[in-house]
């Protein structure tokens, strides 16, 4: 596990495109610019097998969001389909949690669509439970 480098971007875009079916180079270039600079509170880590990038995780420490004490948010994690079930996702999550700890926070959170059972099951398997928050939305069209 290591911090992302500009040369990793093409593989990150490729992994995301395979997993989501959408190619978003501008989006990922923007994330690299905002999260790829090794700041203390922002993390963009990749799982480098030495041969290629097998997955990535992105997150940041957010302070007092919705009145909540500072906590680490994971907002993207992805592993190549062919590299799954080998602990890559677990190691990525452990690495970003280690970063959050170094940044002084004691809680990690994420937010997922409730029908995304695969990724929900992954985070559950890592010991994550429902947070004491309820996301709400409203159609404003």
Partner 1 sequence: MRLQKNTRLALCGALEFAARPGRHLSVAEVARRYRVSPHHLAKVLRALGRAGLLDAVRGVGGGYRFAGNAKRVTLMDVVALFEGVGAPAPRRGARVRAPAERALDLVLAEIDETARATFSSITLETLLKLIARRGLG
Candidates 78, 68, 74; CA nearest to 97 is 74
Euclidean distance between CA atoms 94 and 121, whole angstroms: 16
Given the complex with partner 1, which of 26 and 134 has the nearer CB atom? 134
Helix-, strand-, coil-residue percentages of the chain, each rounded to 5: 40, 20, 40
Q: Is the CB of residue 63 less than 8 Å from the CB of residue 55? A: no
Q: Which of 22, 26, 130, 140 binds partner 1 (CB under 8 A)?
A: 130
x-marked contacts with partner 1 along 58-97 as a string, rule CB under 8 A: ----------------------------------------
The nearer residue to partner 1, 11 or 78, going by C-beta atoms, is 78
Q: What's the DSSP call for residue 66?
A: G
Candidates 127, 137, 139, 140; binder of partner 1 (CB under 8 A) is 127
Residues that bind partner 1 (CB under 8 A): 114-115, 117, 120-121, 123-125, 127, 130
């Amino acid at each position: 596990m290591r911090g992302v480098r500009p040369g990793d971007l093409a593989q990150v875009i490729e992994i995301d495109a395979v997993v989501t079916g959408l190619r978003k180079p501008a989006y990922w270039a923007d994330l690299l610019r905002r999260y790829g600079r090794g700041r203390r509170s922002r993390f963009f880590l990749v799982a480098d097998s030495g041969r290629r990038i097998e997955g990535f995780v992105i997150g940041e420490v957010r302070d007092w969001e919705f009145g909540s004490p500072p906590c680490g948010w994971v907002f993207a994690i992805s592993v190549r389909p062919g590299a799954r079930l080998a602990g890559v996702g677990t190691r990525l999550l452990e690495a970003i949690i280690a970063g959050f700890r170094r940044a002084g926070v004691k809680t990690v959170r994420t937010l997922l669509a409730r029908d995304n059972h695969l990724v929900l099951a992954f985070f559950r398997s890592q010991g994550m439970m429902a947070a004491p928050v309820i996301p709400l939305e409203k159609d404003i069209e």
